[in-house]
Chain A
Amino acid sequence: MVHQYKNNGYDIVLDVNSGAIHVVDDVTYDVIAMYESHSRDEIVETLGAQYGTDVTAEAYDEVQELVDAGELFTKDSYEDYIMDFKKRPTVVKALCLHIAHDCNLACRYCFAEEGEYHGRRELMSFEVGRAALDFLIANSGNRRNLEVDFFGGEPLMNWQVVKDLVAYGREQEQKFDKRFRFTLTTNGVLLNDEVMEFCNREMANVVLSIDGRKEVHDRMRPFRGGAGSYDRVVPKFQRFADSRNQERYYVRGTFTHENPDFAADVLHLADLGFKQISVEPVVAAPEEPYALREEDLPKLFAEYDKLAQEMIKRRKEGRGFNFFHFMIDLEGGPCVAKRLSGCGSGTEYLAVTPWGDFYPCHQFVGNEKFLLGNVSDGIIQTQICDEFKCCNVYAKEKCRDCFARFYCSGGCAANAYHFTGDIRGAYDIGCELQKKRIECAIMLKATESEEEHEEK
């Protein structure tokens, strides 16, 4: 399968099954579009009128060379492989600890319903957290790297337990030859020097929630009394990011139907000095006024293009920044097994509630249908885990013929469930945005490669 598109003056051809990416000229672009359904002679005759027969023939032969080298029109030979791979025994390697089902903000789009997740306000005790870490170690097999995210609600509302669990985890590392990567997601309200210092020592990554421009942020992220939180968190986030040398963090925002011009929010965050930025589409029930709609798509696509072009400009000016959704690792990216097996929710990745219940991921917390077990008894509903285990791009009808399947891995199971009632479904708006982001990300790589070439 081949995906070809034009963006920002580049003719780009992606060979889906090998991952090869080619930047071509117009004649080659048109040759490739005809290649599978026409003979060499037909193509040379048809396109020769426009480009000249010699040039067309030359382009055709170059295309043929790539086909022969397994870099164009490569066949998909992974289906049996991934089915076998998915049958393997899996281990748990990551937990999302809901350290506090409570929050000091009342964000309008919160999927956790202001931290409560359809349940009651509750803080995780040290004992529950410790049992969760013990479960992770015991169920991680030979995996050495274990990930634990302190999530909420707002985890800083239960900060002492976070610190105690980090200390406990560090003690266990040597005993069991494991390595914990702790991460924290926070709204910044309770952030202070002590928290920053601790995080800089212990947290492999921190995610700082901020939506962008003050009016956008304050509209969606107010305190419970209604006042905006922008002024309270921005100076602290700036200091925090600097104290981490502008690395190993993300400022992370959400855009909605109410700010479809989200590129301005990304650039606002860049103007505030942040270098690691992630601004992502809201996931919301269609009846919510801020939910993204199909008619927003053209505007959102244009915003991604605008953002990509501005990023090129700023990079050339020496003031570039990273945008999480445009980051793509072409040379050292994941293996096919990882790309096809998805995010690992319900198998390698579990969420733990304050009272120790397991769910397939944080987005399923509170939906009793997906309650898997708990930290004392382990996983009880193994059939739910099996369902998640079998969920991969070949199990999803809409993914089979999609060029993006090796980059998004079939997308988010929770989104699919919320929009289609089935974890094997597809959330169409999310898919369209994902495909656009991949196109932009590849285009950015093409410009980088061109710049490197010019420098040489």
Chain B
Amino acid sequence: MKHIKTLNTRKLQNTVKKGGCGECQTSCQSACKTSCTVGNQSCENK
């Protein structure tokens, strides 16, 4: 494409089928303790 550059992302629609295993880290345990931040967490079941 000449006008658009798409970054590599995980397509969210595709995570509906396999997702929800719950093995990932609880977000507040990572560093914050005052602000929910989920988008930076890694999936443990890729």
Known: A335-B18, A335-B19, A349-B26. A23 touches B5 (CB 8 A): yes
- A63: chain B residues within 8 A (beta carbon): 4
**Count of B interface residues, CB-CB < 8 Å:** 43
Contact of A342 among B36, B44, B46 (CB under 8 A): B36
- Complex Cα spacing A65 to B9, Å: 17
Are A66 and B12 in contact, with the CB atoms below 8 A?
no
Of A39-47, A127-135, A407-415, the stretch lying at the interface with chain B is A407-415
- Complex Cα spacing A81 to B18, Å: 13
Are A408 and B39 in contact, with the CB atoms below 8 A?
yes
User: Which one of A20, A345, A410 has the greatest number of beta carbons of chain B within 10 Å?
Assistant: A20
Are A332 and B43 in contact, with the CB atoms below 8 A?
yes
Are A22 and B7 in contact, with the CB atoms below 8 A?
yes
Contact of A361 among B4, B19, B28 (CB under 8 A): B28
User: Is there a chain B Cβ closer than 8 Å to A330's Cβ?
Assistant: yes
- A96: chain B residues within 8 A (beta carbon): 28-29
Q: In the complex, how many angstroms separate the beta carbon of B16 from the nearest chain A beta carbon?
A: 6
Are A412 and B36 in contact, with the CB atoms below 8 A?
yes
Of A215-223, A320-328, A368-376, A381-389, the stretch lying at the interface with chain B is A320-328
Are A349 and B29 in contact, with the CB atoms below 8 A?
yes
In the complex, how many residue pairs between chain A and chain B have their CB atoms under 8 Å apart? Answer: 214
Of residues 1 to 46 in B, which have CB atoms within 8 Å of A's CB atoms?
Answer: 1-13, 15-16, 18-20, 22-46
- B13: chain A residues within 8 A (beta carbon): 17-18, 70, 74, 77, 336
Are B26 and A343 in contact, with the CB atoms below 8 A?
yes
Are B29 and A280 in contact, with the CB atoms below 8 A?
no
Main secondary structure of the interface of B (DSSP, over half): loop
User: Is there a chain B Cβ closer than 8 Å to A158's Cβ?
Assistant: no
Chain A residue at minimum C-beta to C-beta distance from B25: A147
**Count of A interface residues, CB-CB < 8 Å:** 89
- Complex Cα spacing A331 to B39, Å: 11
Contact of B6 among A27, A66, A88 (CB under 8 A): A66
Known: A18-B13, A21-B9. A343 touches B27 (CB 8 A): yes
Are A22 and B4 in contact, with the CB atoms below 8 A?
yes
Q: In the complex, how many angstroms separate the beta carbon of A272 from the nearest chain B beta carbon?
A: 17
Chain B residue at minimum C-beta to C-beta distance from A363: B34
Q: In the complex, how many angstroms separate the beta carbon of B3 from the nearest chain A beta carbon?
A: 4
Contact of B24 among A19, A21, A282, A334 (CB under 8 A): A334
Q: In the complex, how many angstroms separate the beta carbon of A347 from the nearest chain B beta carbon?
A: 10
Are A332 and B38 in contact, with the CB atoms below 8 A?
no
Are A71 and B34 in contact, with the CB atoms below 8 A?
no
Known: A332-B43, A335-B18. A407 touches B4 (CB 8 A): no
Contact of A409 among B15, B18, B27 (CB under 8 A): B27
Known: A70-B13, A410-B36. A65 touches B6 (CB 8 A): no
Q: In the complex, how many angstroms separate the beta carbon of B34 from the nearest chain A beta carbon?
A: 5
- A94: chain B residues within 8 A (beta carbon): 26, 29
- A438: chain B residues within 8 A (beta carbon): 39
User: Is there a chain B Cβ closer than 8 Å to A24's Cβ?
Assistant: yes
User: Is there a chain B Cβ closer than 8 Å to A118's Cβ?
Assistant: no
- A324: chain B residues within 8 A (beta carbon): 30-32, 37, 40
- B38: chain A residues within 8 A (beta carbon): 334, 338-339, 342-343, 407-409
User: Is there a chain B Cβ closer than 8 Å to A108's Cβ?
Assistant: no
- B40: chain A residues within 8 A (beta carbon): 324, 327-329, 333, 441
Chain A residue at minimum C-beta to C-beta distance from B21: A335
Are B39 and A147 in contact, with the CB atoms below 8 A?
no
Q: In the complex, how many angstroms separate the beta carbon of B41 from the nearest chain A beta carbon?
A: 5
A-B contact pairs, 5 of them (CB 8 A): A21-B6, A336-B15, A408-B39, A409-B27, A434-B35
Q: A324-B32, A412-B35 are in contact. List 12 more A-B contacts (CB 8 A).
A: A23-B6, A24-B3, A24-B5, A62-B1, A96-B29, A329-B42, A334-B39, A338-B38, A338-B43, A343-B38, A408-B36, A413-B36
Binding site for A on B (CB under 8 A): 1-13, 15-16, 18-20, 22-46
| Top 6 A-B residue pairs of the complex, sorted by shortest distance between their CB atoms | A335-B19, A407-B39, A337-B20, A335-B15, A94-B26, A327-B40
